[in-house]
Amino acid sequence: MYTTLLTSLENSIFTITINRPDKLNALNKDVFADLNKALDEVYSHPDIRSVIITGSGPKAFVAGADISEFSGLTVEASKALAKAGQDTFFRIENAPKPIVACVNGFALGGGCELAMSCHFRIAADNAKFGQPEVNLGLIPGYGGTQRLVQLIGKGRAMELLMSAGMLDAATALQYGLVNYVVPQEELLTKARTILDLINTKAPIAVGKCIEAANAVFDETKNGYEVEVAAFGHCFGTEDMKEGTTAFLEKRKAVFTGK
């Protein structure tokens, strides 16, 4: 089904592995096409409750965009390329199911942007993050200038964007770019442990947490109004009735996503 991805579904966790190890999993048009097909599955498949995105091999999550595809692009074509990449990453950011990046090495350029579009990030101890586009006479085009500021603050983001510097895993943790740093062999286990816990919660409520938290950074929305609407929506669900009843009856709730 996919030419550039490996996928698996186990215990309601859908794992997407970008599989171009000879190119350090660089993003090209085929990867984006496959990612969008995989996201179609994420959005529509009821058995998928949460998602891991990672890269194949021990060296790279995604080491950047495939620069060979930039050759000969016009100004308008380059804008369309950036817009298409942003649209894919918006689908990740706004997915109603948790998507976690497991960063198993270099996350540079488009790879850093992909990781930042996920709901949170876990890094292997060999991970490196950076936006080195100024080395090519470019800037990030897939949302990196925006999400890096949101995640680590303007001053630190400005320095990284303009210097093309890299953050090691420990510094990324200190800056709040990642939630955890673990040995590489424990990376997927850590993510699955967290997602197994999240998957026991009410799916609709989890999705509404994502929607409301994302509204903080959307200037077209009032986040408090989004929260009120989402709170009210949850009140109309069977899961809310089950959750409150289970709490009062001192038993574990069984959520169905209805």
Instruction: Return the active site residues.
Output: 113, 133
Q: Do residues 63 and 24 lie in contact, with contact meaning Cβ atoms separated by under 8 Å?
A: yes
User: What is the distance between the alpha carbons of residues 217 and 147, in angstroms, rounded to a whole number?
Assistant: 9
User: What is the distance between the alpha carbons of residues 95 and 163, in angstroms, rounded to a whole number?
Assistant: 32
User: What is the distance between the alpha carbons of residues 150 and 34, in angstroms, rounded to a whole number?
Assistant: 27
Q: Do residues 25 and 60 lie in contact, with contact meaning Cβ atoms separated by under 8 Å?
A: yes
Amino acid at 46: P
Instruction: Quote the crossing angle between the two packed helices 238-248 and 223-235, to the nearest 10°.
Output: 70
